[in-house]
Every structure is written in C-alpha cells, then in structure tokens.
Chains A and B, each alone.
Chain A
Amino acid sequence: MDPYLVSVLSNIGLFSFLALSAWILLLGGEISFGQQAYFAIGAYAAGIASAVWAWPFTAAVLWGAVLGAGIGALIAWPAARFTGVHYAIATLAFAELTRAALNVFHYQRDVDGYLTGPDGANGFGDIRWVYEAGIEPGPYLAVIATLLLAVIALIGLAARLDVMAQLRMVGEDPILAAMQGVRVLRWKIGAAAAAGGLAGLGGGLYAHFATYVEPAQFSVMTGVHAVAYGLIGGLGTALGPILGVLIDIGLLESLRALAAYRMIVFGGLVAIILILRPRGLLDETLVAKVRAWARR
C-alpha cells in the first residue's frame, strides 16, 4: 500500500479514539474540551512504559488506557457536578494544566547508553518498540483498525444491553433520568472513565505510531476538533464521530489542494451542519428510521 495512504488511514484510526471519547461525553450531556489531555496521558504513560521501563507493547498501551480511565474518573468525581459551560471550562482547565505539567516533566533514564524519556517542552522521542519489533506501518495500521473495531463492537454490545440508552437518558434530562431510577452521578463518572480510557488507548497507540510526542501536540485545538467530530458526524451512532474524522482528516487534511484552507473549510462545515442538522449527519432520527426499516 502507498505509504502516504497508510499514514493517513492510521491518523484517521488514531483520532477516531479521541473522537469517540468526546462523543461518549456528548451522549452523557457534557461538552469536554479536555479529552486531548487523556490522549496525552495515554501517549506519555505508554511511551514511558515501553521505551524507559522496557515493558512489552501490549502492557504499555493497556497501562496508558487504564491510567486515562482512572484519571478520567478521578476528575469527573468533582467535575460531574458541573453542567454545560462550567463543565466545559473545568475540562479545558484540566487539559491546559496537564499540558503545562508535561512542559516541565523530565523523566530521562539511561536506556542502552542513551538518555530516554520525556524532556519537558523538548518532547519525548525514541518510542521505538514497534519499529524495533520489526512491525511495518501496514501491519501497525491493522493493529489500530482491529482495536478500533473492537471498541465499536463493544459500544454496539453496550447499546444492545441498553447501556447507551441509559447514558442518553442521563445526558438529555438528568432529573427525569433520576426519576426513572437511574443513578445519574454514577453514570457520569462511568462515562468519563470510559472516555478517558478510550482517549488513553488512542494516545498510547499514537505515541508508538509517531515515535515522538511533545506537549504542544495536545493543545486545545485538538480537543475542540474531537468534540466537533461527533457534532459533524452525528450523535446517533458510534459511526458518527468516525465519519467526522473521515471528513476532517480524510478529506480536508489529506487532499493536498484543500490542506491550506483546512481550518476555514472545517469551521464553515461545523457551522453549516449545526444549523441544518443540529445533532449531526447520522443523528438519532436517522438511526431510528434505519433500525425500524431493518426490523421489517
């Protein structure tokens, strides 16, 4: 396969984790501008584990996801008491705090004669486990795709067991959800943990794909994009945010003719879709219609 195509597809896959992370919180009724922080935490945690501690890849990536989920739950415990704008600001503040902390985070150890590990604002290079194991970009793309499909299948399972519908209840009207016997705070913390874990998983995979990460990559714009993916693609199904990523990275960033205007076109697209289809292209009405049709 063409190396450029492989790299574009890998990016689409990697940012789909971040988009799904923000999407889960959108379903739970919260806008988070801070999911890039969990992406960063996953990237750094997994990178340190494999490059500095010499853990195997699977354990390192899993560790990144677990840490993302844990910190997500920990932050949500107080933050879930906020709603709307206040929640958005709280998540934004946390993400900027994380980025600022990474800027001064030095943890370099001697690995085979080289100083390896995060070096503050200079970033964190030599996350080379995947390359040293001889895994080419093509097979690594297959790893990303498999994990993404597994996550989508898991969300499908959750939907079938009615978990997603309960999360939507909490998101739409927490008071009514409580009236119906749903434990709202527990759901909000659970959603934040799942979202943090997903972003952490994506971050760990990203670090091993890029081999180099630096705090500046995890800026607010990354988080804003993550939210926009769900809003463009649609809130009705897990495929919605992934469609959003496809449109942004697949179409706007990768078509070289459009790349220079990416931000302008993307911003305009978000505005138009929010006016015409407030809940995105694949919204709940469409999904319900497709489901009703499929059952016939």
Chain B
Amino acid sequence: MLTLENLSKHFGGVRAVDGVTLTIREGEIFGLIGPNGSGKSTTVNLITGLYTPTTGTVTLDGWDLTAMPQHARTSRGVARTFQNIRLFGNLTVAQNLWVAQNGHEQRREHFLSRWFKPGGEHGASVDELLQFSRLYSKRDVLAGNLSFGEMRRLEMARALASNPRVLLLDEPAAGASQEDGQLLAERIRAVRDRGVTVLLIEHMMELVMGITDRIAVLNFGQKIAEGTPREIQDDPQVRAAYLGSGHDEKMERASA
C-alpha cells in the first residue's frame, strides 16, 4: 500500500538516502532498522513531506504523495510520531487530539457542530482515544505538564487522531525502560489491530524482532536486506553492517 520507488535524498555530497525501493503491505507491522546515520529518519521525513526527495516517488494506495504538502499527506492517511517527542505543550491533552482531528480537512463539515460539544464533551472518537492511551483522567491537563511516559502515549494518540492509514513510529522506545518496552509492544499491536499499518523505526532489537512481520535494513542510505525477522537475523550483510566489516577476518587472525 505504501511504496517507495528509487527514493533518494542528497544533502550536498552526502547521500542520506540513496535509491531505496520498498513496499509496505496493508495491515502489517514493518520494521526499518539500520546503524546510526543510515538514513532511517530521513526516509520518514521523505514520506511525511518534511523533506522533498532528490529523486524517486512515494505512493500510498496508488496516490502519488511526492509533491503533496504535509497537510495533504495527512488527509491521505499518513501520520507519524517523532524521535524527540513533539506535542503542543500549551494545549490540553484533549485539545492535542481534538484539534488535530478537526484540523483535518475532510472533517470541515463538522466545524459548526463543535459549538454543541465544547470543552469537556469531546467527540466520541477523542474519548475513545483518551481511553485507549490511558489518558482520560488527564484530559484537561496541559500536555507540557505530563510525565515522559504520558507524553509518549499522547503523541501516539495524537498521530492516531488524524485517522491515518499508515502510522510511522520514529524510535518510540527511546528513553523507555525494558518494562515500558513490553507495554509499547502491546500498544503497537493494538494500533495494528485498529486497522492501521505500522512502519516502525527502532533501535531496540528485541522490540523490532518481536513484533514486526517484515524488516528492511538500511546502511549508508541504501537498502541492504529485506525479509522476515528470522531472515534478517541470519543475513551476513546485516551482521557486517552492525558489527563492522572485516569482523570475521580479524577474529580469524586473532585466533590463528
């Protein structure tokens, strides 16, 4: 459903993303991994429209997103979270979700109906999202005054509020404990079960290997492998990328 075709982004002489081709299928949890600086976040920024690609295209359900502005991609069903949490700190928890939904162009017809459900009586879908992310009791608190874990949950809820077809999670486990990681895995599965396709960018291997259906590996901006978690774990190129090439030879020399 989400297809990247020969996607590249060059910053001067640096090829941050270099000819990546990927197809993510509807309803799967797809992992995108790679060492630091391999182009994962740049890829996300190309999909969401924060960057314009040097070459290549991004299509979702056959719609060419490549030249679309960000707000138009959102209404086509692309949503994301950020590696460093981004929320509207001076808006309440409910407003972070509620506004996000109504800022959505397809829902403009509801504009005047908001008069009848102001403040506390948010739409049913917002209430549901607040329950889903266990933030209902905090709905009138300013987002900037939440705890770190609550902010993470709110960020995912905020992304879901725009009713996406595909959700891009950029290192959602960053700063989370092992225990939080378990809860996060459940949460990501729950998102998938809502019918949202998930693209997961993550460093925590345990999480990625545990919940993804398929994985692609980037190194120096190029895709070096794609397959099931098992296939990826056994791939020699992936091992080389993570452990450093020449690893085996050095080991052999050392033991000789």
Contacts and interface: CB of A to CB of B under 8 A. Distances in A.
B50 A165 contact: no
Does more than half of chain A's interface fall in helix, strand or loop, or is it mixed? helix
* Residue among A169, A180, A284, A291 with the highest chain B CB neighbour number at 10 A: A180
Given A162-B98, A173-B88, A291 B74 contact: no
Nearest to A185: B69
A295 B95 CA distance: 15
B238 to A, nearest CB: 31
B100 interface: yes
B140 A180 contact: no
A166 interface: yes
A134 interface: no
B207 to A, nearest CB: 24
Contacts of A165: 91, 95, 98-99
Nearest to B105: A181
A180 B162 contact: yes
Contacts of B89: 172
Contacts of B48: 179
A176 interface: yes
A180 B158 contact: yes
Interface string B183-206: 000000000000000000000000
Interface in B64-108: 69-71, 74-75, 79-80, 82, 86-92, 95, 98-100, 102-105
A284 B103 CA distance: 21
Contacts of B102: 162, 166
Interface string B146-169: 000000000000100110000000
Nearest to B72: A181
Contact of A181 (B100, B112, B115, B119): B100
B114 A288 contact: no
Contacts of A183: 71
Contacts of B88: 168-169, 172-173, 176
Given A169-B91, A175-B50, A180 B103 contact: yes
Given A161-B115, A165-B95, A284-B90, A181 B162 contact: yes
Interface residues of B, number: 39
Interface string B25-65: 00000000000000000000000101000000000000000
Given A179-B48, A285-B142, A173 B86 contact: yes
A276 interface: no
A178 interface: yes
Given A180-B162, A284-B142, A295-B120, A172 B103 contact: no
B75 A181 contact: yes
Nearest to A295: B120
Contacts of B228: none
Interface of A: 160-162, 165-166, 168-169, 172-173, 175-184, 235, 279, 284-285, 288, 291-292, 295
Closest 4 pairs between A and B when the two form their complex, measured CB to CB = A292-B140, A178-B70, A181-B74, A180-B100
Interface of B: 48, 50, 69-71, 74-75, 79-80, 82, 86-92, 95, 98-100, 102-105, 111-112, 114-115, 118-120, 140-142, 145, 158, 161-162
25 contacts: A160-B115, A162-B114, A165-B91, A165-B98, A165-B99, A168-B90, A169-B91, A178-B70, A179-B70, A179-B71, A179-B79, A179-B80, A180-B103, A181-B74, A181-B75, A181-B104, A181-B162, A182-B71, A183-B71, A285-B142, A288-B140, A288-B141, A288-B142, A291-B119, A292-B141
Given A173-B88, A292-B140, 9 more contacts: A169-B99, A172-B90, A175-B50, A178-B69, A181-B71, A182-B103, A279-B90, A288-B140, A288-B141
